């Protein structure tokens, strides 16, 4: 178990995640900064006029074929340097970027608070910090579709929580995360039209993929709820059934013990007071809201957005998160940046500015976990080995 646990954090995984993430971020910047853009100006003051060459009835500001040289045009061409020179790097810009960083702190504080609630404060704040940072580190190294949940069980187990109880806690965190998503999405669509949540191009295919994913997560939410609250013995019976298969029989004894621990933990949680669940779900809402606000703050640093636009950006992130969850790349690299540009392009006509904001968002919300995790991990493992030796 120890070897497989440390393999999950092997150096090649860290380097691969960094290489993919940096390559994609670098590629986006190069792509964005090497494209010329057209910006609308007062009639007669530009050198180009717009022609709908592809017939989509939409101004494609970075498509040269759409703009014809004209002495009295209403569009002018700008290079990446000219676009960047118009950005005002003042105290307001850095204020919103600072808030974006605080949003990530809020996200992790929410997770730390929740893990302390679910473990009945068996973990102190320092242990909770290590657990969450390593959990996020594992998620940053794993494809979005896998997350770091499997590794999280062993992280909790190393903090002297039985594997069965750790598994039940991880199942419960997954349930709370999915419950937040499943409850909020229908409310959003009651107040915000689908046309405002999805891009105009590729709308139908993106909506189909989104609702398919939503249905899967709603079903998963029901299964997780059943395994913890309705049928605490469900996981035990499943593990017992699968370990009857001949080549899995050697795991039967350990699997049944883990299944029993999960059942006992689940049975205990069924009798928790309503305040316990309210606190755990409140911490979940706080964490996810902080996570989503990071993009709002990053965009406000460079754009002047009103309150309704901020609500729309916040809402669009439920769609963005779906694509991150189904990503086959570490930490959603590539998919995250693509979805950012597709979903939020209506707030800026500048592909250069959108590319820069997407990279800044990833620098704030993704890369820090690779750095923090790689610093914490060796010390944490060393501490656990020392504690193990002291008990022998």
pLDDT of residue 288: 94
Is the pLDDT confidence value at 6 over 70?
A: no
pLDDT in tens, 148-191: 677 788 888 888 888 778 888 888 898 899 889 888 888 888 88
C-alpha triplet 282, 365, 138: angle, nearest 5°: 80
Tell me which of 231 and 277 has the higher pLDDT. Answer: 277
Residue 392, pLDDT above cutoff 70: no
Look over the chain and give the mean of its residue pLDDT values, rounded to a whole number.
82
Structure tokens at 25: 């971020």
Written as one string, the DSSP assignment of 339-377 is HHHHHHGGG-S-HHHHHHHHHHHHHHHTHHHHHHHHHHH
Q: CA-based Rg of the chain, rounded to a whole angstrom?
A: 24
* pLDDT tens-place string over residues 7-28: 666 677 777 777 887 787 788 7
Q: Is the pLDDT of residue 292 over 90?
A: yes
Measured in whole angstroms, how far is the alpha carbon of residue 122 from the centre of its chain?
27
374 HSE (CA, 13 A, CB side): 14
Mean pLDDT of 63-80: 84
pLDDT tens-digit readout, 240-270:
777 777 766 776 776 677 677 777 777 777 7
pLDDT at position 201, please? 60
What's the whole-number mean pLDDT along residues 72-84? 83
pLDDT of residue 1: 47
Task: State residue 310's pLDDT score.
Answer: 92
Among 9-13, 103-107, 355-359, the minimum mean pLDDT is found in 9-13
In angstroms, the Cα distances linking 224 to 90, 180, 228, 247, 276 are: 48, 13, 6, 27, 18
The secondary element (H helix, E strand) that includes residue 67 is strand 67-73
* Low-confidence winner among 101-105, 295-299, 345-349 (lowest mean pLDDT): 345-349
The total of other beta-carbon atoms located within 10 Å of residue 120's CB is: 10
What is the per-residue pLDDT for 15?
73
Classify each residue of 312-348 as buried b or exposed e, where b means 16 or more C-beta atoms within 10 Å of its C-beta. Answer: bbebbbbbbbbbbbebebbbbbbbbbebbbbbbbebb
What number is the average pLDDT over the span 197-202? 67
* pLDDT at residue number 285: 95
304 phi-psi bin (left φ>0, alpha ψ -120 to 50, beta other):
beta
> Taking a C-beta distance cutoff of 8 angstroms, is the pair 280, 229 a contact?
no
pLDDT at 390 over 70: no
Indicate if the pLDDT at residue 298 is higher than 90: yes
Which residue, chain included where needed, has tokens 């086959």?
A: 328
% of the chain beyond a pLDDT of 70: 91
In tens, the pLDDT along 368-381 reads: 988 898 888 888 87
pLDDT band at 200 (very low <50, low <70, confident <90, very high): low
CA nearest to 126, candidates 116, 114, 139: 116
Give the pLDDT confidence score for residue 203 in this predicted structure: 65
């Amino acid at each position: 178990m120890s070897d497989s646990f440390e393999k999950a954090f092997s150096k090649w995984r860290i380097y691969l995640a960094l290489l993919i993430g940096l390559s994609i971020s670098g590629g986006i910047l190069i792509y964005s900064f090497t494209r010329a853009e057209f910006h609308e100006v007062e009639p007669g003051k530009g050198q180009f006029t717009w022609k709908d060459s592809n017939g989509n009835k939409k101004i494609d500001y970075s498509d040269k074929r759409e703009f014809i040289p004209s002495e009295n045009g209403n569009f002018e061409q700008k290079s990446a340097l000219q676009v960047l020179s118009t950005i005002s790097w003042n105290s307001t810009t850095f204020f919103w970027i600072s808030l974006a960083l605080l949003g990530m702190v809020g996200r992790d504080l929410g997770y730390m608070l929740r893990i302390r609630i679910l473990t009945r404060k068996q973990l102190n704040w320092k242990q909770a910090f290590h657990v969450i940072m390593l959990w996020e580190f594992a998620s940053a190294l794993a494809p979005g579709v896998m997350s770091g949940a499997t590794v999280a069980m062993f992280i909790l187990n190393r903090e002297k929580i039985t594997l069965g109880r750790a598994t039940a806690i991880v199942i419960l965190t997954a349930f709370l995360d999915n419950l937040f998503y499943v409850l909020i999405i229908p409310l959003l669509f009651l107040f915000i039209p689908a046309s405002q949540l999805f891009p105009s191009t590729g709308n139908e295919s993106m909506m189909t993929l989104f609702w398919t994913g939503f249905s899967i997560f709603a079903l998963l939410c029901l299964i997780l709820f059943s395994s913890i609250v309705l049928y605490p013995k469900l996981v035990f019976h499943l593990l017992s059934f699968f370990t009857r298969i001949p080549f899995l029989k050697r795991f039967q004894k350990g699997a049944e013990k883990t299944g029993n621990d999960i059942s006992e933990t689940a049975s205990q949680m069924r009798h928790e007071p309503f305040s316990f669940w309210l606190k755990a779900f409140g911490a979940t809402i706080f964490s996810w809201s902080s996570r989503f606000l990071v993009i709002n703050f990053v965009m406000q640093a460079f754009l002047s957005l009103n309150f309704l636009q901020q609500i729309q950006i916040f809402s669009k992130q439920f769609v963005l998160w779906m694509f991150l969850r189904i990503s086959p790349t570490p930490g959603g690299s590539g998919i995250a940046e693509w979805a950012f540009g597709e979903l939020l392009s209506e707030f800026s006509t500048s592909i250069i500015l959108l590319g820069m904001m997407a990279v800044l968002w990833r620098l704030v919300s993704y890369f820090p976990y690779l750095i923090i995790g790689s610093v914490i991990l060796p010390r944490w493992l060393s501490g656990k080995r020392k504690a193990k030796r002291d008990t022998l």
